[in-house]
Amino acid sequence: MAVVTRFAPSPTGHLHLGHAYAALFAHARAAEARRSGANGRFILRIEDIDRGRCRPEFEAAILEDLAWLGLSWEEPVRRQAEHMDDYAKALSRLEAAGVIYPCFCTRKAIEAEIAAASHAPHAPPGGADGSFYPGTCRRLHADERARRVRAGERYALRLDIEQALATTGPVTWSDAVAGTVGADPRAFGDIVLARKDVMTSYHLAVTVDDHLQGVTLVTRGKDLLPSTDVHRVLQALLGLRTPSYHHHPLVTDASGKRFAKRDSSVTLRALRAAGRTPAEVAALAGFAP
């Protein structure tokens, strides 16, 4: 059986120890498979849909840092921004299934509606889309929707989560640590699958890409575990394969705080410039091969 893993950084900053751990972890699972006589492959994917924040120089630095760490990956590297038509196809399928709708709301209008509601809803666990969407545009009449689209009003596309779950029925996914998980993404609300500025989103792109790239084992930090419920429901709606998952612990500093891109002292570049070897960096990240 083939084991295909991936590391999927966004080129919005330099890689830090947390990334080093995630990349080494994914790479090691593929290498392990090869050692046991299976076909193990490691893929690198550049998640660059957020055009305002992604920079080519960060992408170049990512490739250089990973190579310095001693990792190798398959070519060509997939860049999400080059595959917008794949995401558009998925959106058409979801539209045909009647589970997405255009949302014309501005961030301000959403905030005002939430503030006006008597009980403030909880933020989604992943925090991916800001506040829980109150469903304003879900309730728009079809004529009104069509009129506003025709008038050229800009819109995002949201998943009608209740409709989606009614369509898929109960679905589960499996994690190496958490075991079998029943997918319940309702805490995210009607999440955005295509933004007003780019016609996709993290959730949609990652789900489509993992399928198209034949990824069999998704490894990533535990912070993304709730998001997998969303991805599993999208797989069911789109008829995509469900990989296995391994959500690993996040690398934290001595005070237990996770590293972020702004912590420049723990970037791989800084550590390398300070004379650390790749093996020392792996050890600092807490990675035991």
- Residue 13 lies near ligand GLU (rule: CB under 6 A): no
Query: Hey, which residues between 198 and 217 contact ligand GLU (CB under 6 A)?
Result: 206
**Among 40, 47, 133, 200, which residue interacts with ligand GLU (rule: CB under 6 A)?**
47
Closer residue to ligand GLU, CB minimum distance, 160 or 175: 175
CB of 151 to ligand GLU, least distance (A): 35
- The distance of closest approach from Cβ of residue 218 to ligand GLU in the complex, given in angstroms and rounded to an integer, is 7
Does 9 interact with ligand GLU (rule: CB under 6 A)? yes
224 interacts with ligand GLU by CB under 6 A: yes
Cβ contact 209:77 at 8 Å = no
Distances 240 to 1, 41, 122, 234 between C-alpha atoms, Å: 19, 20, 30, 8
- Whether 56 and 31 have beta carbons less than 8 Å apart is answered as no
Question: E strands of 20-114, at which residues?
Answer: 39-46, 78-79, 100-103
Among residues 41, 39, 10, the alpha carbon closest in space to that of 26 is found at 41
Which stretch, 5-13, 28-36, 57-65, 280-288, contacts ligand GLU (CB under 6 A)? Answer: 5-13
Among 3-11, 51-59, 101-109, 277-285, the segment contacting ligand GLU (CB under 6 A): 3-11
Catalytic residue among 89, 196, 257, 261: 261
Strand order in the sheet with 192-194: 100-103, 156-159, 192-194
Q: Cα–Cα distances in Å, from 31 out to 19, 28, 91, 208, 287?
A: 18, 5, 35, 25, 15
DSSP state of 287: -
Q: Which of these segments, 2-10, 52-60, 102-110, 171-179, binds ligand GLU (CB under 6 A)?
A: 2-10
At 273, list the tokens. Answer: 């410039």
Decide: is 240 part of the binding site for ligand GLU (CB under 6 A). Answer: no
Q: Does 10 bind ligand GLU (CB under 6 A)?
A: yes
Q: What is the maximum alpha-carbon separation in the chain? A: 64
Is residue 108 part of the annotated active site? The answer reads: no
Two tokens, residue 47: 């998640």
Which CB, 16 or 158, lies closer to ligand GLU? Answer: 16
Q: Rule CB under 6 A: which residues touch ligand GLU?
A: 8-10, 47, 206, 220, 224
Which residues does the annotation mark as catalytic? 261
